[in-house]
Amino acid sequence: MTFLYIISAALFVLVVYFLVSALRLKKAVSGLTQEQFIEGYRKAQLVDVREPKEFDGGHILGARNIPSSQMRQRVKEIRSDKPVYLYCQNSARSARTALFLKKKGYTQIYQLDGGFKKWTGKIKTK
């Protein structure tokens, strides 16, 4: 019986954690479809937060690579007065990066829904 209460409490905590995380993410970043992303990324800072090997394998034309693993050291490379368009492979790293940028005072943060794996637009490879 006690084991059942422990399992129930743990599940409750997990559900609350995921709901709070989802709400924080929704406030930090606006998800855009590929069409919406294409409409605005030329007037914004387009940042690929994947690692350099992934970036070199193919990236959206015009993007610059600032890996999420280096964001704390390189955040000053991103202007806070201009929109920031983020993407990664599937949206997980760009979502974490968006939360980080929000904490640093950035307000115009957008991410590509589904990430690069769903991108069908122009790409550049090395």
Q: What is the pLDDT of residue 8?
A: 78
Q: What is the pLDDT of residue 27?
A: 60
23 pLDDT above the threshold of 70: no
Q: For the segment 31-47, what is each residue's pLDDT rounded down to a tens digit?
A: 899 999 999 988 999 99
% of the chain residues with pLDDT over 70: 89
Q: What is the pLDDT of residue 22?
A: 55
* Full DSSP string of 62-114: T-EE--GGGHHHHGGGS-TTS-EEEE-SSSHHHHHHHHHHHHTT---EEEETT
Q: Is 27 an annotated catalytic residue?
A: no
pLDDT bucket at 10, cuts 50 / 70 / 90 = confident
109 pLDDT above the threshold of 80: yes
Instruction: Indicate the domain borders of the chain.
Output: 29-124
Distance between CA atoms of 120 and 57, rounded to whole angstroms? 15
Q: What's the pTM value of the predicted model, to 2 decimals?
A: 0.80
Which option is the CATH number for 29-124: 3.40.50.1220, 3.40.250.10, 3.60.20.10, 3.40.50.1000?
3.40.250.10
Q: Tell me which of 46, 66, 86, 88 is the catalytic residue.
A: 88
Decide: 99 and 24 in contact? Cβ < 8 Å. Answer: yes
21 pLDDT above the threshold of 80: no
